[in-house]
Amino acid sequence: MKFIAEVNIMPLKEILDPQGKAVTGSMKNLGLPEIQNVRVGKHITLELEADNETIAHQKVDVACRKLLANLIMESYEFKLTSA
């Protein structure tokens, strides 16, 4: 079966997010001061083949833990759907 994983990786809340701070500052310059505490992360889409959803979930989890996310500074979550 073919699956699609939509992965979101975000900096941990305890970690300073310089890119998010810069975007927050720019919102004020655009006349949007009500937008605050912006956090900037990554969105990754993966396509994979697996025998079933459980195996697909395990494979995406391994990819996130071992390659896509730096678990010291980032957290991840993903949604898996059949293609």
User: How is the chain classified by DSSP, letter by letter?
Assistant: -EEEEEEEEEE-TTS--HHHHHHHHHHHHTT-TT-------EEEEEEEE-SSHHHHHHHHHHHIIIII--TTTEEEEEEEEE-
In the chain, where the domains are located? 2-82
- Write down the CATH superfamily of domain 2-82: Phosphoribosylformylglycinamidine synthase subunit PurS (3.30.1280.10)
List, in sequence order, every residue forming a beta bridge with 5; answer none if it has no partner. 46, 80
Instruction: Output the pTM of the full model.
Output: 0.88
Per-residue pLDDT of the chain (83 residues; tens, 9 = 90+): 999 999 999 999 999 999 999 999 999 999 999 999 999 999 999 999 999 999 999 999 999 999 999 999 999 999 999 99
